Amino acid sequence: MSHTAGQAYLNTRVSVMSIRLFSPELRVSLSQLSLPALAERFGLSALLDEQPSIAARSRAIEQSLIQVLLTELQVLAHPMSPAERALLLAWGRQYALFNLKALIRGKLYALDQEAIRANLFELPGSIRLPLPELLRAENVLELLRQLENGPYHQIARQAREVYERQREPFALEAAIDQRYYTEIVRRAMGFHHQHLDSLRRLIGAELDRVALLWLLRFRFSYRLSPSETYYQLVPSMRRLTRERLLHLVNLDTFEQVIAALPPRLRTLLAECQTISEVQQRIGHHTRREARGVLARSQSAVARALAYLMLRESDLMRLFAVVQGRLLQFPEQAIEAALDLTEPSGNPVNTTRR
Amino acid sequence: MKHVRLLVLTEDLPQASLALAETRCFHPDTRPPTETRLDTLPGREYCEIFNQAKSRLDKIARLVPLDTASAIDAMRVVEVAELSALNDWLGRLWGEASGYEEDFRRLDDEERLVKEQQTALENFAHLNIDLGMLRTKTRFLDFYVGLVPRENLRQLEGATGLAKHILHVYMQQGDTAHVVIVGPPGARQSQLAAVLAAAGFQNLPIPRELDREPAALQQDLARRLLDIEAQRQSLRKTLEGWGEPFHDTLLAARHTLMLAEPLVTLDPSLRSAGQLAHLAGWVPVSAVAHLEQRLRASLHHPFDLTSRDPLPDERRLVPTMPVTNPLLAPFAMLVNQYGIPAYGEIDPTPLFAVTFLLMFGSMFGDVGQGAVIAGTAWSFRDRLGRFWPFGLMAGLSSMVFGLLFGSLFGYEHILPALWMSPLSDPLLMLSIALGWGVVFLTVACLLAIYNRLAIGNRADALLGHHGVVNLIFYLSLIAGSLRVARGDGFGSVPAALIASSLLTLGWQSWRHQQASIGEKILVVFIETLETVVGYVSNTLSFLRVAAFSLNHVALSIAVFTLAGMMGDFGHVLTVILGNVFVLVLEGGIVMIQVMRLQYYEGFSRYFSGDGHLFAPLRFRPLNH
């Protein structure tokens, strides 16, 4: 297949698949659906299964939604060129890294294999970690050393070096997250201008979101120093560039940071008082940017990635509703949770212990 | 092949697995039983423990080499308690052994650091500052000299700037950057330390007495490298000494794991309910009685063994017995490159072997060159493994045809031809090749028909690709063509048969289409055309068999023409090099052409190749 034909095919595929994205009405009305209605509408048979516990049902649903997302990723990656496929897989690796973090935590807290396995996702071969071998590793160091002999060697090496020096889960997970985003940026910057503009817009918006949230959390929740905070961030190629971040991390209050943001983000986040509000608004903004790329971009790979990001957001929103229903939360609580929904495998979920 | 179902008491499972492995005739079937109550996985815990223990033994064996595993001598059941105890012991042992591994890694890191220092030393010499001051912190300045991964450099530069420090890169080598970080001492030092740790910064000690001669410093570093190597040797000896007392116990542990492995291999096939365990598999018909006898002799409690023929819808699940004949084994390897014969399908290996040798010999007939091929295969039989008989037989076939053609290293007049030189009657050669093609394609169609009948697919045997109707068309076309060649005209019978067979095929295609009439007509027309063109071109494809035998002689003539233009030495050299050229280049091309005829004209007609090999449960040597 020629390059032009390949792009046309991929663009058509993305357009056909994009009708699966939730409509604005559905996103709003999702929280009002009952469990049987959710099961019927989205084919979530596991919801109605006689699972032994709510946790098991919730886990089965999460696994099936991730399966849906990653199957679509594979379908889109199939006709792509190696560089395009590598970018999509680099993005999809967040779920493998989620597994890696579960493994590391399990080893740190000396959980048995069965307990660790209960927290792992089944992933397709293209991004899967060698779980049986990693599960049998005796400790975190051995686990990371084993991972150094494969496609995750860079992340594993960096994580091991950090762990050897600091022996602290937060630093380890932060290093893993940082390398994850750095790898995406590296892959994206390898494209020529036809794709680069759209990718810069899409990934730049995502990195703006991630960098700002990390900055606010690290500086004002975890009280890290400016230099420590800056080191953990991944500069965006759009608004929160390296220079901008160097300036922002040096500010002492939440309000000062918001006031010093680039005009577009400052206007967007002007009235925010908490990190949660920032998370909610910038999340909407990132989705809007992704929708813009999906609707108007000429780059098939950028459109495919935008579709996957939006699809992930939809599926995680659906999962939040399912979980809320399973736990019998009131509708208001579910709606509040929906505004803060982030993909489960998203490294932003790294928390300091 | 029979499908066997075995019901045993759960406590007898380890013993049953040993008996099954011993007979080497049980290929596990991983499908769950139809009885939904048999839903427990009785071997799961055993499997987990085994895998952990094997992983630990593998890791230990990296440090304490073990002898190659021998065959199982004493058969005994390995209970889960024994396996668990072994796993715990191996875990403790690995805990100790991993300390040595870490020591080796530490020495590797030290060695790398010294080498980096050696490289940096020359660089220091060019810096226009007093490097002696970099060794110690001063009242006003704080220094860090060291290495950092290049990928972290840019981010670290920003972070050090925020901590009021300056980062200077004075050298980059591979993935590592050598940096000097300078800044004021004070509160920000602790912030910087955290950043440096996160960035993988590695302190590079600046040698004392830096003002000494560089050569002397380099000698110091070289001595340190020697010292590290000595430490490594000493560590190896210590490790050897540490491992020695465990050597026999580790061999025994490996033996225990070998005995436990059959049950682990069976794990995906095992299901149980209470005390009753179920397993199923495929067993060659001739081995069922032996298997039952062996189980009866081994198991302490009653068991139930039932066997039945494979059901029609299980055909793809039934394994195929591999070729065991050593002469056919290399040909089976080539057949398996295309696919494994499915159960019930005729194994094409014997036919492949015969036709391959016939075609290769006729296309590359030369006594001398054949002898070189055969001799080379014989000489390198150790390296070629099971493949050497292939080379030997190909060479012998080439020699036989060389005798028929009277060809010896391209010389056509030394040996009297038992038949004739191909170039003496090219038309006869081409006619024989064409006839061979007709026979080959006819046999291929007959095999396709048989394979379909064997699985009860009568419709495809009759009307499918290369089925009976296709064969009638093809043979009628050949008969008509032969009549035309003899000047008798095409003949009404062949014409009528061709017309009726094409009409039948067209009607069959029409029935299976769901499209508009126009589209149906178009598809039927194209398919009919494809059938006619396909059979004609496939038959003509066999002309290459004659073409290459002619080509072989022609190439030899070219070599001798060139040699004739040289002096004595040049003549001999040209003949030798020419023969090498013919052997390598033409031999390779002929091999590819024969494989092409086999795969494309033969296998694509009658061989599905979608089976899987019979892989019986057996004891496997666990080498590391």
pLDDT tens, position by position, B158-197: 999 988 889 988 888 888 888 888 888 776 667 788 888 8
Do A353 and A169 meet the contact criterion of CB atoms below 8 Å apart?
Answer: yes
Q: What percent of chain B has pLDDT over 90?
A: 50
* pLDDT of res. B287: 92
* pLDDT per position as a tens digit, B559-578: 999 998 988 899 999 999 99
A138:B91 CB<8 A = yes
Interchain CB contacts (distance < 8 Å): A and B: 78
B158 and A245: CB-CB below 8 Å? Answer: yes
pLDDT given at position A352: 43
- Give the containing element (helix H, strand E) for B8: strand B2-9
Q: Does A132 touch chain B (CB under 8 A)?
A: yes
- For chain B, list residues whose CB is within 8 angstroms of any CB belonging to chain A: 48, 51-52, 55-56, 91, 94-95, 98, 149, 151-152, 154-156, 158-163, 188, 191-192, 194-195, 197-200
Question: ipTM surpassing 0.90, yes or no?
Answer: no
- pLDDT over threshold 60, residue B535: yes
Q: Are B162 and A161 a contacting pair at CB < 8 A? A: no
Structural domain boundaries, residue A347 = 1-79+308-353
SS (H, E, C) chain A: CCHHHHHHHHHHHHHHHHCCCCCHHHHHHHHHCCHHHHHHHHCCHHHHCCCCCHHHHHHHHHHHHHHHHHHHHHHHHCCCCHHHHHHHHHHHHHHHHHHHHHHHHHHHCCCCHHHHHCCCCCCCCCCCCCHHHHHHCCCHHHHHHHHCCCCCHHHHHHHHHHHHHHCCHHHHHHHHHHHHHHHHHHHHHCCCHHHHHHHHHHHHHHHHHHHHHHHHHHHHHCCCCHHHHHHHCCCCCCCCCHHHHHHHHCCCCHHHHHHCCCHHHHHHHCCCCCHHHHHHHHHHHHHHHHHHHHHHCCCHHHHHHHHHHHHHHHHHHHHHHHHHHHCCCCHHHHHHHHHCCCCCCCHHHCCCC
Q: Stretch B216-221: mean pLDDT, rounded?
A: 79
**Is residue A243 a part of any domain in this protein?**
no
Whether residue A42 is contained in a domain is answered as yes
Q: How many domains does chain A have?
A: 1
Q: Do A138 and B48 touch (CB under 8 A)?
A: no
Higher pLDDT, B52 or A46: B52
Residue A17 scores a pLDDT above 60: yes
In chain B, what residues touch A228 (CB-CB under 8 Å)? 159, 191, 194-195, 198
| pLDDT(B122) > 80 | no
Chain B positions touching A112 (Cβ under 8 A) are: none
Q: Which two tokens stand for residue B80?
A: 């889960």
User: Quick check: B134 pLDDT over 70?
Assistant: no
pLDDT at position B187: 62
Gap from A240 CA to chain B (nearest CA, Å): 14
What chain B residue is nearest to A113 in terms of C-alpha separation?
B48
Cβ–Cβ gap A249/B154 under 8 Å: no
Residue A300 lies in a domain: no
Scanning every residue of chain B, which has its alpha carbon at the shortest distance from the alpha carbon of A170?
A: B198
Average pLDDT over residues B98-123: 86
A120 in any annotated domain: no
pLDDT of residue B617: 92
B329 or B71, greater pLDDT: B329
Q: Out of B51, B91, B198, name the one closest to residue A231 (CB).
A: B198
Q: Which residue of B has its CA nearest to A244?
A: B158
Q: What is the pLDDT of residues B144-156, one digit of tens each?
A: 888 888 888 899 9
pLDDT band at B624 (very low <50, low <70, confident <90, very high): low
Residue A217 in any domain: the answer is no
Tell me if A2 is assigned to some domain: yes
Q: State whether B151 and A231 contact (CB < 8 Å).
A: no
Give chain A positions within 8 Å (CB) of B154. Answer: 242
Please say if the pLDDT value at position A349 is more than 50: no
Q: Which of A136, A162, A171 sits opposite B55 (nearest CB)?
A: A136
Confidence of residue B607 (pLDDT cuts 50, 70, 90): confident
Per the prediction, chain B carries an average pLDDT of: 88
User: Is residue A249 situated within a structural domain?
Assistant: no
Whole-angstrom Cα distance, residue B358 to residue B594? 10
Contact list, B91 vs chain A (CB under 8 Å): 138
Three-class DSSP category at B33: coil
Domains and CATH numbers, chain B: 117-215 (3.30.70.2750), 324-420+543-613 (no CATH), 428-540 (no CATH)
Q: Mean pLDDT throughout A308-330? A: 88
pLDDT in tens, A111-131: 888 889 888 999 998 889 989
Residue A43 inside a domain? The answer is yes
Residue of B nearest to A251 (CA): B162
